[in-house]
Structure 1
Amino acid sequence: MDELSIRIKIADREYPMKVKAEDEARVRSAGRQINERIKSYRERFGIDDKQDLLAMVAFDCLVDKMELDEKQYDTDESVLEKINHLNSIINQAL
């Protein structure tokens, strides 16, 4: 398992971390996306306080994750219903 030592800059502060080589691109992308959201909030709302900006980004990210989790649950339920229906059809045919 190859681990890389990298530094990610978020809100003008650098954070050293160790990541698996296969996760490096994802971690760097996450850092860029956080910084983009910070910039967006700063421009949209005229907020300069980094703590407020980071809190807003954290909140926004959690809402996005909750929405994706709900969609995934709905998809899982739909797939399960279809599998049960197909099993029923197969059992009737036997």
Structure 2
Amino acid sequence: MGEISIKINIADRVYPLRVNMEEEEVIRRAAKIINDRIKEYQDNYAVRDKQDLLSMCVLHYATATLKAEKKRVDEDTEVADKVYQLDQMLDNFFSK
């Protein structure tokens, strides 16, 4: 599919972007999630500076990304261990 031009509003600033048509919905949802998080920080903390709110938002999502990545690596390691154990059991069974 082709590229389209869209405008995304994040923290009261408009960003013109060229994106693939199939990415548009994801990008718009991401911008909404970011704006919702910024509003939450604005409502719950005495922070009004947009730069500080954006920094808090970035920290939140970077932390969440790292946690998800670590969880995936841990789960991959666990699956690999179980596959290894199963392989050993099958080797023992068939070598008798």
TM-score range, shorter chain: over 0.9
Q: How high is the sequence identity, in percent, across the aligned residues?
A: 37
Deviation at 1:2, TM superposition (A): 1.8
Unaligned runs of 5+ in 2: none
Deviation at 1:46, TM superposition (A): 2.5
TM-score under structure 2 length normalisation: 0.91
Q: How many residues align?
A: 94
Equivalent in the alignment of 1:87: 87
Q: Which has the larger radius of gyration?
A: 2
RMSD, matched Cα:
1.0
Which whole-Å deviations, capped at 9, do the CAs of 1:30-66 have from their partners, x for residues lacking one? 1000000100000000311101100110111111111
Unaligned runs of 5+ in 1: none
The yes-or-no answer on 1:49 pairing with 2:64 is no
The structure 1 segments of at least 4 consecutive aligned residues displaced by more than 2 Å after TM superposition are: none
Q: Give secondary structure in 2 for the equivalent of 1:14.
A: strand
Q: Give secondary structure in 1 for the equivalent of 2:17.
A: strand
Equivalent in the alignment of 1:19: 19
Q: Give secondary structure in 1 for the equivalent of 2:9.
A: strand
